[in-house]
A = this chain, B = another copy of it.
């Protein structure tokens, strides 16, 4: 019997996680995170509820990662911290994971680099990575062998004939696997609503070439996903071509480029790289600044640059900001706020609506169908999408001749069971979301909470700051509401300390910062956290409330 269980990535975009079982052993494919919507107070990250894996801790064959994006590896440190197990991944993916693990002080039991064309064993499974093109280098599809048949998980893929790293999809191997026979294929549905092919990354490089060559009086600020190392490489190469300098701003960018260099996926030309604090010693037209935070996150690099919170440089008249990234649904308002601010300062903004400054890493309809025609699996399982995309992908399968019995549209928390090479039944597995607060490595989860009778024991602190938007200042003393957090219960000294730290923090802000409730909320939270840390190791859930009057 083979059982495939979906703990994330279906029914919603983000936190991809699939469990494959055979003969009593579990193989986990991907373990990603997602960012919460703005309205979950005090929560910074969402990871899959992987209690199903914890409950089967004695039967783990390992964790295989398809590529290094957050929605595929972001929750892996949380899983590996609880349950050390062998990890299988390509070189760059492993490098990005290692960075996360060392930040959180987690050590996996063994790490195996997946090399193209080589099968490795993982319990009763064999695992082979097949290189595919995507928006991060070293992405792979996975062929997962079991005694009852082979599964193919496409991972995230597109079919780019001119990828900037010149590493093409291994078409021959995919077709060979298809000829050998695939029981079931799990296939990326993200861009199923786009006709044709999604387009090559080279078109973005050509657009950026145009902007960099035309840059003659202004700074060029480019924001992109910090995992997009091919595009980052291209920008360094273009900078060298036009004798410009490149500075990085944002922790994830600095760290990911370092990993990229270490594992040999990024080659920074000599004399191009400068530090963020050197920007002001060059003429604006000689500097390209790459900034993280393309989704307009309040505390991230792009927002800080736009709102003059970066001490080294800001947006000045005539500067260009290029948004070389997709705006993830839900983030439109935050990004629009940044764009608005750049215009307010006399800058220009170029988005994917204006010019070809971004292209998706996920294949469109023709790419999905081409993959399917090579693999020709017995069962077609759309993954990586909301129900709309999964059903859209099922429609493509029907066009290709699959009947309803061989297309398995599934959902979060569902499992599909196969027996003797045939689909047998659907089932349910426990799943959902676990919420991560701040820098904690332990989720605010049911295992932690299980022994607690009451939220009051959890410890919650609600700092409330009242702001006069018009006058750009605090209207009254901050209020601290707390419950079940002994440090603050009755300890008026600490409460006063928190309050006076908040007052000092708000005094240090500009009127503009005070007026921006999302920035202010983040700062209220970090200030309270810092003050509490001085007094106690345990930090409660902090729910900052900013009221504008």
Residues of chain A touching chain B, judged by Cβ–Cβ distance below 8 Å, are 11-12, 37-41, 49, 51, 193, 329-330, 332-333, 336, 339-340, 343-344, 349, 353, 386-388, 390-391, 411, 430-433, 435, 444-446, 449, 452-456, 460, 462, 464, 466, 468-470, 475-477, 479, 481, 483, 515, 517-518, 521, 541, 543, 545, 547-549
When C-beta atoms are compared, the residue in chain B nearest to A37 turns out to be B333
When C-beta atoms are compared, the residue in chain B nearest to A477 turns out to be B454
Q: Which residues of B contact A456 (CB under 8 A)?
A: 479
State how many angstroms separate the Cβ of A47 from the closest Cβ of chain B: 12
State how many angstroms separate the Cβ of A476 from the closest Cβ of chain B: 5
- The distance in angstroms between the C-alpha atoms of A40 and B549, with both chains bound, is 12
Q: Determine how many copies of this chain the complex contains.
A: 2
Pair B543/A545 contact, Cβ less than 8 Å: yes
State how many angstroms separate the Cβ of A454 from the closest Cβ of chain B: 5
Residue among B330, B386, B464, B549 making CB contact with A445, cutoff 8 Å: B549
Extra contacts besides A39-B518, A330-B332, A444-B549 (13): CB < 8 Å? A37-B333, A41-B41, A49-B469, A329-B332, A330-B333, A339-B387, A343-B390, A432-B515, A444-B547, A446-B475, A449-B475, A454-B476, A462-B543
- A sample of 19 cross-chain residue pairs with beta-carbon separation below 8 angstroms, ordered by A number, consists of A11-B340, A37-B333, A39-B521, A49-B469, A339-B387, A339-B388, A343-B390, A343-B391, A430-B470, A432-B469, A435-B549, A446-B468, A454-B477, A455-B547, A460-B464, A462-B462, A462-B543, A464-B483, A543-B545
Pair A386/B479 contact, Cβ less than 8 Å: no
Q: Which 10 pairs, one residue from A and one from B, show the smallest C-beta to C-beta distance?
A: A343-B387, A38-B39, A432-B469, A329-B332, A330-B333, A446-B549, A455-B479, A340-B386, A340-B387, A449-B549
Q: Which residues of B contact A466 (CB under 8 A)?
A: 449, 455
Pair A40/B333 contact, Cβ less than 8 Å: no
Pair B545/A41 contact, Cβ less than 8 Å: yes
- The distance in angstroms between the C-alpha atoms of A390 and B444, with both chains bound, is 45
Q: Which residues of B contact A469 (CB under 8 A)?
A: 49, 432-433
State how many angstroms separate the Cβ of A29 from the closest Cβ of chain B: 22
- The distance in angstroms between the C-alpha atoms of A344 and B385, with both chains bound, is 13
Q: Which residues of B contact A390 (CB under 8 A)?
A: 343
Q: Which residues of B contact A521 (CB under 8 A)?
A: 39
Known: A339-B388, A387-B340. A483 touches B475 (CB 8 A): no
State how many angstroms separate the Cβ of A194 from the closest Cβ of chain B: 10
Of the listed residues A483, A543, A549, the one surrounded by the most CB atoms of chain B closer than 10 A to its CB is: A549
State how many angstroms separate the Cβ of A352 from the closest Cβ of chain B: 12
Q: Which residues of B contact A38 (CB under 8 A)?
A: 37-39
When C-beta atoms are compared, the residue in chain B nearest to A541 turns out to be B547
- The distance in angstroms between the C-alpha atoms of A95 and B193, with both chains bound, is 42
